[in-house]
Amino acid sequence: MQSNDSFLALSAALTGFSTLDLLGTGMAQEYQRTLDATLPPGIYRELLETWASAGGGEAATDQIMGDPKLGPVARNLIQLWYCGTWSAMPDDWRSAYGTTPLDMSRVVSPEAFQAGLQWAVAGAHAPASGQQGFAAWALPPEGSS
Amino acid sequence: MVFFPRDKMTRTSAEQVGEEIYDVVIVGGGVAGAIIAKQLSAAHKRVLVVESGMGKDVDLAGYESYVSRFYGTAMKDNQSPYPINRNSPMPRSTDARKITPGLPATDAYIVQNGPFGSDTTYTRVLGGTTMHWEAKTPRMVPDDFSMRNTFGVGENWPISYDEIEPDYREAEREMGVSADVEDQRYLGISFPDDYVYPMRKMPLSYLDQQVDQGIRGTSVQLGGQQFDLEVRSFPQARNGIPNPLYNGGKGYRPLGAVSTSQVEAGERCQGNNNCVPICPVQAKYYAGKTMAQALLGGDVKVLTQAVASRVVLDADGRVSHIEIKQYHDPILPDHTTATVRGRVFVLAANAIENPRLMLASGLAGSSGLMGRNLMDHAYLLCWGLMPQVCGTMRGTNCTGGIVALRNGSFRSQQAAFGIDIHNDGWGWSEGSPASDLLRLVDGQNKFGRSLRRELADSITRQLLLAFMIEVLPDPNNRVSVDPAYKDQLGNMRPVVTYNIPEYTMRGAAYARRFAQLVFQRLGVADYTHYDPGDYGYVTYEGAGYAIRGGNHLAGTHIMGSSPSTSVVDPDQRSWDHANLFLVGGGSMPSIGTANVTLTIAALCFRTARAIIADLA
pLDDT interval class at A38 (50, 70, 90): very high
For residue B553, what pLDDT is reported?
98
- Region B268-296: mean pLDDT is 93
- Chain A contact for B343 (CB, 8 A cutoff): no
- Region B323-330: mean pLDDT is 95
Q: Inform me whether the pLDDT recorded for B3 exceeds 90.
A: no
Cα separations in angstroms, B609 against A55, B33, B281, B593:
78, 14, 33, 27
pLDDT tens digits, residue range B97-148? 999 988 999 999 999 999 999 999 999 999 999 999 999 999 999 999 999 9
For residue B50, what pLDDT is reported?
96
Q: What is the residue-averaged pLDDT of chain B?
A: 95
For residue B71, what pLDDT is reported?
92
- Region B552-560: mean pLDDT is 98
DSSP structure class, residue A27: -
Q: Inform me whether the pLDDT recorded for B12 exceeds 60.
A: no
Which residue in chain A has the smallest CA separation from B68?
A: A110
- Chain B, 457 to 496: residues with Cβ < 8 Å from chain A are 459-460
Instruction: Report helix, strand and coil shares of chain A as percent, to nearest 5.
Output: 55, 5, 40
- Region A117-138: mean pLDDT is 91
Gap from A137 CA to chain B (nearest CA, Å): 5
Side chain identity, residue B195 = Y
Phi-psi region of B114 (alpha: psi -120 to 50; beta: other; left: phi over 0): left
- Chain B contact for A61 (CB, 8 A cutoff): yes
Q: Inform me whether the pLDDT recorded for B249 exceeds 90.
A: yes
pLDDT interval class at B11 (50, 70, 90): low
**Are β-strands B378-385 and B462-469 bridged in parallel, bridged antiparallel, or unpaired?**
antiparallel
For residue A1, what pLDDT is reported?
42
Whether A117 contacts A96, CB under 8 Å: no
Burial class (CB in 10 A: 0-12, 13-18, 19+), B284: buried
How much is the pTM? 0.96
Percent of chain B past pLDDT 90, that is, above it, reads 91
Output the furthest CA–CA distance in chain B (Å, rounded). 77
Percent of chain A past pLDDT 90, that is, above it, reads 85
Beta-carbon separation of A129 and B424 below 8 A: no
- Choose the closest CB to A128 out of B268, B280, B452: B280
Q: Inform me whether the pLDDT recorded for B244 exceeds 60.
A: yes
- Region B82-86: mean pLDDT is 95
Q: Tell me which of A126 and B581 has the higher pLDDT.
A: B581
Gap from A44 CA to chain B (nearest CA, Å): 19
Whether B472 contacts B503, CB under 8 Å: yes
Q: Which residues contact B516 (CB under 8 A, 6 or more apart)?
A: B382, B526
Which residue in chain A has the smallest CA separation from B282?
A: A128
**Angle in degrees, 0-180, between the axes of helices A4-15 and B448-460, rounded to the nearest 10:** 50
Chain B hits for A136, Cβ within 8 Å: 271, 394-395
- Region B211-229: mean pLDDT is 97
Beta-carbon separation of A134 and B394 below 8 A: no
Q: Which residues contact B527 (CB under 8 A, 6 or more apart)?
A: B383, B384, B385, B426
Whether B464 contacts B431, CB under 8 Å: no
Which residue of B211, B238, B460, B463 is the best one to mutate when testing the A interface, meaning the one whose CB has the most A CBs within 10 A? Answer: B460
- Chain B contact for A18 (CB, 8 A cutoff): no
Nearest-angstrom CA–CA distance, B482 and B492? 7
Q: Inform me whether the pLDDT recorded for B13 exceeds 70.
A: no
Chain A hits for B280, Cβ within 8 Å: 128-129
Long-range contacts: B563-569, Cβ < 8 Å, 24+? B563/B366, B563/B367, B564/B366, B564/B367, B565/B367, B565/B369, B566/B158, B566/B367, B566/B369, B567/B365, B567/B367, B567/B369, B567/B370, B569/B158
- Chain B, 188 to 247: residues with Cβ < 8 Å from chain A are 203-206, 209, 240-241
Q: Inform me whether the pLDDT recorded for B478 exceeds 80.
A: yes
Nearest-angstrom CA–CA distance, B275 and B282? 9
pLDDT interval class at B314 (50, 70, 90): very high
Q: Which residues contact A99 (CB under 8 A, 6 or more apart)?
A: A40, A89
Nearest-angstrom CA–CA distance, B363 and B358? 5
Nearest-angstrom CA–CA distance, B498 and B476? 7
Whether B580 contacts B361, CB under 8 Å: no
Q: Inform me whether the pLDDT recorded for B260 exceeds 80.
A: no
Rg (chain B; Cα; Å): 23
Chains A & B: contacts with CB separation below 8 Å: 158
Burial class (CB in 10 A: 0-12, 13-18, 19+), B224: exposed
Helix (H) / strand (E) element for B464: namely strand B462-469
Nearest 5°: the CA angle A21, A26, A29 is: 110
Side-chain half-sphere CA neighbours of B136 within 13 A? 27
For residue B10, what pLDDT is reported?
61
**Lowest model confidence (mean pLDDT) among B264-278, B334-348, B376-390, B556-570:** B264-278
For residue B265, what pLDDT is reported?
72
- Region B333-348: mean pLDDT is 96
Whether B464 contacts B383, CB under 8 Å: yes
Beta-carbon separation of B391 and A79 below 8 A: no
Which residue in chain B has the smallest CA separation from A141?
A: B391
Chain A hits for B455, Cβ within 8 Å: 82, 118, 121-122
Q: Inform me whether the pLDDT recorded for B540 exceeds 50.
A: yes
Nearest-angstrom CA–CA distance, B235 and B400? 9
Percent of chain B past pLDDT 70, that is, above it, reads 99
Helix (H) / strand (E) element for B10: namely strand B9-10
Chain B hits for A65, Cβ within 8 Å: 445, 447
For residue B201, what pLDDT is reported?
97
Whether B557 contacts B370, CB under 8 Å: yes
